[in-house]
Structure 1
Amino acid sequence: MRVAVIGGSGYLGALIADRCQERGHSVVALSRHRGVGTWEHQQCDLTAPGLGAERARAAITEADVCVFAAGSVSWQSSSTESLQVHDRGIATLLQLVESAANPPRLVHVSSILALGEPDKAVASDQLFVGQRFRNWYEYGKYVAEHRVRQSATRHNIVRFGPLLGLGYDAAIPDIRYGLPALFPMALAGYPIPITDGGQYPCYVGDVLGAAELVVDMAEWTEFGRTVTWFDPQNPSLCEILTRICLPFGKYPRIIKADTGRAEWLMRTLMRRIGTDANLTDYAHGWVDVDARADSEFTREVRGREGYIQQMSAAMAGQSWSRPQHIDVRYTHA
């Protein structure tokens, strides 16, 4: 089977390409930057008309399965930045898939954040439930999933929360965005104000388990399914930050605070004092998801034991300078 992986040089995408190749499939990875795997690579730009390259378009239309695993933009991105990828990019991809002589099946990697902030529990296959969106990233994810659902493609959709653990070639997630952006703050001993002390889930999962599930979906003959997957243990935000810090002989300084009522004020204050704005997106619970991946359509998918601690160990000896005046060198105690 020939599989085209859009976003094939990314943290999740490279691991999907690796798992596909390991199962004997022919893989072509499409991304803006060349990846490090041994599979075929083609340049692809989701913000460019027609994806920017004829070879990229041919790779999609000639594939048996197309996996859309791109779209890593900041939660603080503008409407233009977010919608260029999640709206225009997916629209171009869908047009190419639908125009192919033998249209490939599509696996769309979505996000739990596509559900925004609803005021009730959401089932695994729901999308519009009258929710509001806190940022353009969330709305972009919603628009992309909506486009796929409304398309004439043979598609399946999988939603993940934040993915952690070691990716292809022992890669760690980008700490500039999302949940990993909190790790330097926790390790530097910055006080972290969080509703209920972070005793709520944020639906993390091991990136390896996520990649295995995506490849399972690429091999399905059924289509029209939407599933949600995360770590069955579903650790709280407090537990995650603690697992990150303990290998370094530290403990996160979490302050119990009611951040939900004054989120707009919190964002303003954080910008002024130089604290990472990503914190506001994790400072209180987001959504109540009442279902995981449908076991009828997936084999048992398991992440690695201790995947958060493994990732923490891989961070040792590395250094990043944060623009918000946080400079941390990771060294185990």
Structure 2
Amino acid sequence: MADGNRETTLSPDDAFALLGNETRIGILRALGEADGPLSFSALHDRSDVRDSGQFNYHLEKLVGHFVRKDDDGYTLRRTGRRVVEAVLSGAVTETPSLERTPVDEHCEYCGAPIEVTWQHGSVRMYCTECAGTYGRAYDEGRGVPAGEGYLGRLPLPPAGVRNRTPEEVLRAAWTWGNLEIFAMASGICPRCSATVETSVRVCEDHDASDGLCETCESVYAVAANVTCTNCIFVSGGGAVIALVANTDLLTFVTEHGLNPVAPESIRVLNGVHGDYDEEILQRDPLRARFTFHVDDDSLALTVDENLDVVEVDR
């Protein structure tokens, strides 16, 4: 029998094997919904398993790694809470439907109305008139044609779609996604908290004068790719995803009354973070200058080959 006061270590295979049972998931959910520790009898009363011996068998399988057992009863360990959070978020159980729908926001490039849809755990955004930002989408770690006008995606679990209008879904995704980007920009994986590595790609023959560059299928010549050193998390986009947490850029946007996490106008903040001027000063080693604009004010950040800021002009 596991020691309920000491957290056990399980291999990934063993952990998933323990969770591959409806009764055990039910136990974790019951503990997650409880206001405090539950006695064996109170926990058993919340289960569909009437045989106490069978119920105890499943419960003891969880004690140690997912569940704590002490004199007060049974409670969830942090690992157990993570399982319940994932289940209730819908990330592993639900596929909500949000067809491509117009919302009251506009493209940061051309000002045309945009449309949103929810697919594969993310809200995708599309301009209804211009070419957008990217020609390919990387929702599940592989590039696929994104469709005309693709502006990018923002992660959002299925629970974020429930009981929200399309506009509310977009705003929820914006805040959720920006918090994820802030973590990446700070060197932290938003999934597992390990360190991330950021690699830089520079298009050698960039020409986005007609919308998207035919070579790299992006409006940006300099792109950042983020990879976790521990889990399978990967992400990427324009170089700004490595700069959003920079103090000078944060000061610039907040001084103009813009909230970088939950903006009053997504379009205005998108215009700062997305529609910036890009100038490659030197290719080897890389030196690039990105100039951000709000009204008549501007901020120029010069970066090196690691996208570290080496010069600031205001």
Indicate whether the TM-score tops 0.5.
Answer: no
So what's the TM-score if we normalise by structure 1?
Answer: 0.24
* Larger helix percent: 1
Q: Give the number of the structure with larger relative contact order, counting CA–CA contacts within 8 Å between residues 6 or more apart.
A: 1
So what's the TM-score if we normalise by structure 2?
Answer: 0.25
* Larger strand percent: 2
